[in-house]
Amino acid sequence: MTQTRTPISLGDEIPAVEFRLTRDTLVRYAGASGDFNPIHYRDDVASSVGLPGVLAHGMLTMGVAVQSTVRWIGDPGRILDYQTRFTRPVVVDPDSGATISVAGKVAQVDDESGTARVDLTVTYNGETVLGKAQVQVRLVSA
């Protein structure tokens, strides 16, 4: 197939996206991922271990956050590397849920290896919840 290259330049900003997580989202992710830790869907269990409420799975936040980059480059197969630290929990209210905001910026472009690094800023209630969230993408499609 023809090789297309998305023009990616240093400093490019990825359109900011908001994702709303509800208790339904958590249950769906539990089923899809196989992570049935009850702190992600039971208030009584969450409070019994001293948590402020039911939390989103870190891996759900990580998986959702990268979707903004996937949307931007148009192809999930061009993600070469993705890493993050889980720095703060996302508490998901039973009624109002939780809205996470994802912004991103191209922090590095390496023409030699044909890759770029996108740094994500993921916030909930104005606080960063993922640290060092970095996505390495391939500049050219397969």
Sign of CA dihedral 71, 73, 76, 79: negative
- Determine phi and psi for 42, rounding to 5 degrees: -120, 115
Q: Specify the residue, 79 or 109, whose C-beta has the smaller distance to another protein.
A: 79
The Cα–Cα gap between 131 and 123 comes to 10
The Cα–Cα gap between 21 and 64 comes to 10
Task: Find the binding residues for another protein in span 15-74 (CB under 8 A).
Answer: 19, 25, 28-29, 31-35, 49, 58-60, 62-64, 66-67, 70-71, 74
Name the minimum Å distance from CB 75 to another protein.
6
Name the minimum Å distance from CB 17 to another protein.
10
- Contacts by residues 48-52 (CB-CB < 8 Å, ≥ 24 positions apart): 51/89, 51/91, 52/89, 52/91
Q: Is 7 in the site for another protein (CB under 8 A)?
A: no
Binding site for another protein (CB under 8 A): 1, 19, 25, 28-29, 31-35, 49, 58-60, 62-64, 66-67, 70-71, 74-77, 79-86, 135, 141-142
